[in-house]
Structure 1
Amino acid sequence: MSSTFAYRLPDVGEGLDEAEIISWKVEVGSPVVPDQVLAEVETDKSVVEVPSPVTGTITSLAGDPGDIIEVGATFVEIALTDGAPGARADSDHGGPAGGGAANAGPAGQGEKPEAEQAPAAAPASASGDDRPQRVLASPATRKLALELGVDLQTVPGSGPAGRVTKEDVESAARGETSTAESPAPAEPAPAAPRVAAASREDEVVPLRGLRRQIAKNMVESWQQVPHITDFREVDATKLVAARAAVNEHLQSTGRAEKITYLPFLVRAVSIALARCPKFNASLDMGNEQITYFGSRGIGLAVSTDAGLFVPVLKDSESMSLVQISRAAQELADKARERSITSQEMSGGTFTITNFGSYGGWLGTPIIRPPESAIAGFGRIADRVVPVDGVPAVRPILPLAVSADHRLIDGADMGQFLALLTTLLEDPVRMMAEEF
């Protein structure tokens, strides 16, 4: 006699309490074996595959793509195969149905009108009329659709689980354009008034996935952490020369790679954190204690179509400038491809955001809890500044640091920024400094 195993959603990240279903890889009636992928879910850090812990047959799925599932809630129910082992000994994610597992549906259910609810057995990759009411598409794709006047509901999605891609939207836009711009009749006729683009109706979409988590984190930071922010202008003359010298050396030794300014920023920050430990710390008001981190995990803010990712560069103090450059590029590529792991997004103790990478001059960075500080760097640009009392043109690097005022005072901020400025204005010093 077979029994039913209720598989509860495990914590697929680090201390997560919920995840969004991106796509199902099985349907009701599908046979499954241990480690077979059941679904892809999105956390605030990455897209994660959830494997089956048992052998059996799927009897129910909790929700549709786009739904939010709480950690510990029933994710799928599996009829165990007679004679097959139940949950593996190292699995603590589920138990027999009715044995105390949370069987309520995921948060966010009820978004689909009853008439449009697909049967639970419908594949998650269904398209057309069988797709969920909320079209699966990234924020960037939605923005493009709005700009081109394309109704996402009418666009067949070619991505995973029927997700609409930028290419799908562009194809739909080209099709509409070719119809609207048919040749004018040869017979002379009064010019018809040019019709403005049709007004678009408001689109209301659920706040989901990475953007939802970013919103929660930013509100938490701004409401709970008293920020102080200080600014500096760094004379980047020697920094520009140092980068040029490194890239010239790489070229002369036959290496087809160049470094940006980021490796210098990472190295300077790592040294400053070693000298100013309050900036490499975390304040826990609940337990009334401060943790001074022994390691320096430098979070690198990376902009993607889905939102801002912050992969963590670990052990940067043991890397050369070229090694930092390679590791940072690899992490950024993984973030943009959504292949980055939770481990690569964890362990940060301080964050760097580079306003200059998208042409920004300066900004006011917001701290990422539970960290105590964050540094933002603007775009290097020539400016007229006084040099020994005489106006001169110099490349200037704007710098902003925000810190938790509960832990860090103005004097601490001044010390940190003075050291950071000194290291960036004289990069040779950062090569000689010990960590």
Structure 2
Amino acid sequence: MKIFTLPDLGEGLPDAVVREWHVSEGSSVAAHESLVTVETAKALVEVPAPWGGRVEKLFAEVDETVNVGDPLVGFTGTGEGEVEAQPGPGANEAVPEPVQATAEEHAQEDSGTVVGSLEQGEAVLEAEPQQEQGPRRFATPSVRALARRLGVDLQRLSKDGARVTAAQVWTAAGSRPQTPAETAVKPVAASEAAAAMSPARRAMGLSMSRARDQVAQITLCDDADISNWWGSAPALLRLIRALQAACIAEPNLNALYRDDQLIPQATINIGLAVDSPRGLFVPVLRDVAARSDEALLQEVADFKQQARETGIAQSDLQGGSILLSNFGAIAGRYATPLVLPPTVAIVGAGRVCQGVVVVDRWPAMRPLLPLSVSADHRAVTGGELARFLQAMLQALSS
């Protein structure tokens, strides 16, 4: 029996939690077919089979934590001379990349792998025996996890092979999405909390450590007079559009900083901080300038529900070029939001308050939106940061 161990998925965490098996003991799988969905660093990741064969043993149960390098699946009937995958990248790399196996690596018994297809060597390999077709996937990993929790049969919901949505699962269950109060985590003792810290919270800790160690942070604050648009559109949408306008005015804040180089991004991809009982998630709203208001608001609603219920897919947590935290929806006026490398800027929006402003040389009460913008001073000048904030103030006040 050949043992396939849990690979390093590139998140820098020592373990992952098994959320859903896509195979069972005795079933046959083809190379690169999905074996299991695991949760690590706030994301749901599908782990593929490194080779085809028969599943002899599953070494972990659903919701069990497995350490990187520990046995995950035992195979029999694997072909001779197949290319085995090598361990993934180190903890400092955000996204695992495919690797090319070498002749020496083929001979190793370690079966660690990375997510993605592998390039093979020049040697001609024998054709692998045809395997039975794997189980059909009727929904995304997050929807499958939700269906499992609610006891809904996805195969019955799928029509003509179409993917099932989360809304269909809720309807079939005769239920509704739970409120944050219903899904809140019960208080536990400090020792128990430390022992049971979720992958999401551990990932947050690693991100904050990198921010502390790598970023030369500066923060600038001001208030936006929002009396002209009060009640005309959702506040979050106005914030997103104002941030978009500021990124166009000062593109160096919509950028990444890698290897001592500032790399402005062609599209505005906003990482939106989402608070949940499971921890802090930062899903990405991609290319906001090309998206409609309705599409953005729907995606925000989907991300919030996924953060509460099932976790957010890894692909939706990657690729942000600037960050936005709407902490004022809970409490607080000003903050020093932390820049998460490799991004160079983050915008924090505080709680709206009434303040006195000068209108035609006379004092007047106006609704004010506090803004706190932090940037990495290694990559961004004080003038660029001030002009960026000025552009946001103008966009919000119009």
For residue 321 of structure 1, report the CA deviation from its aligned partner: 2.4
The CA deviation at 1:326 is 1.8
**1:254 counterpart residue number:** none
- 2:276 paired with 1:279: no
| Cα deviation, residue 87, structure 1 | 9.7
Correspondence for 1:380: 352
Distance 1:169 1:267 in 2: 34
Report SS of the residue matched to 2:232: helix
**2:15 matched residue in structure 1:** 20
CA contact (8 A) 1:32 1:54 kept: no
1:32, 1:290 → 2: CA distance? 50
Equivalent residue pairs, number: 310
1:344 pairs with 296, 316, 320, which one?
316
- Residue 371 (structure 1) aligns with: 343
**Residue in 1 aligned with 2:41?**
44
Q: CA deviation at 1:202?
A: 4.9
Q: CA deviation at 1:302?
A: 0.6
* Residue 101 of structure 1, aligned match among 97, 101, 110: 110
Query: Is the Cα–Cα contact under 8 Å of residues 355 and 362 in structure 1 kept in the other structure?
Result: no
Measure how far apart 1:97 and its partner are: 11
After TM superposition, give the deviation of residue 295 of structure 1 in Å.
1.4
Q: Which moved more, 1:359-368 or 1:45-54?
A: 45-54
- What do residues 45-99 of structure 1 show as CA deviations (whole Å, max 9, x unaligned)? 31334354533243473799564533xx354242313xx657987x736999982
1:339-418 alignment, distance < 5 Å:
339-418=311-390
Residue 315 (structure 1) shift: 1.5
1:234 and 2:224 aligned? yes
Consecutive unaligned residues in structure 2, runs of 5 or more: 88-100, 113-180
Matches within 5 A, 1:259-278: 260-278=234-252
Q: Are the structure 2 counterparts of residues 391 and 382 from structure 1 closer, same or farther at C-alpha, using a change threshold of 3 Å?
A: same
What is the alpha-carbon distance in structure 2 between the residues aligned to residue 325 and residue 25 of structure 1?
A: 29
**CA displacement 1:284-335 (0-9 Å, x = unmatched):** 2xx3322111111101111111101011001110123233222222222223
In 2 relative to 1, CA 169–345 (structure 1 residues): closer, same or farther, beyond 3 Å?
closer
- Tell me which residue corresponds to 2:59: 61
Residues 87 and 395 of structure 1: CA distance in aligned 2, closer, same or farther (over 3 Å): farther
Mapped partners of 1:348, 1:320: distance in 2:
19
1:137-176 to 2 correspondences below 5 Å: none
**Which is worse superposed, 388-397 or 224-233?**
388-397
Instruction: State the secondary structure of the residue aligned to 1:240.
Output: coil
Question: Which of these residues, 200, 206, 213, is aligned with residue 210 of structure 1?
Answer: 200
- Kindly provide the amino acid, as one letter, of the partner of residue 207 in structure 2: N
Are residues 207 and 331 of structure 1, via their aligned partners in 2, closer, same or farther at CA, if it must alter by over 3 Å? closer
Alignment correspondent of 1:189: none
Aligned twin of 2:397: 425
Match of 1:237, SS state, is coil
Give 1:212's aligned amino acid.
R
Structure 1 residue 33 corresponds to structure 2 residue 28: yes
2:214 to 224, 228, 248: 224
The Cα shift of 1:18 comes to: 3.9
Normalised TM-score (structure 1): 0.62
1:168 & 1:375 partners in 2: Cα distance? Answer: 27
Give the CA deviation at 1:356. 1.8
TM-score normalised per structure 2: 0.67
Partner secondary structure for residue 218 of structure 2? strand
Unpaired stretches in structure 1, ≥5 consecutive residues: 104-164, 174-198, 244-259, 427-435
**How has the CA–CA distance of structure 1 residues 409 and 321 changed in structure 2, closer, same or farther, with 3 Å as cutoff?**
same
- Paired with 2:19 and 2:309, the residues of 1 have a C-alpha distance of 20
Give me the identity figure in percent: 28
- The one-character-per-residue Cα deviations of 1:185-210 (angstroms, maximum 9, x if unpaired) are xxxxxxxxxxxxxx979535154411
Measure, in 2, the Cα distance between the counterparts of 1:55 and 1:380: 60
Contact 2:18 2:65 in 1 (8 A): no
**C-alpha distance in 2, partners of 1:216/1:33?**
38
Bigger drift between 33-42 and 401-410 goes to 33-42
Partner of 1:78: 74
Q: Alpha-carbon deviation of 1:275?
A: 1.9
**Inter-CA distance 86–328: structure 2 relative to 1 (3 Å threshold):** farther
Per the alignment, residue 128 of structure 2 pairs with: none
Partner SS state of residue 29, structure 2: coil
Over the residues paired in the alignment, what is the CA RMSD in angstroms?
Answer: 3.7
1:323 aligns with 2:321: no
The structure with higher relative contact order (CA 8 Å, sep 6+) is 2
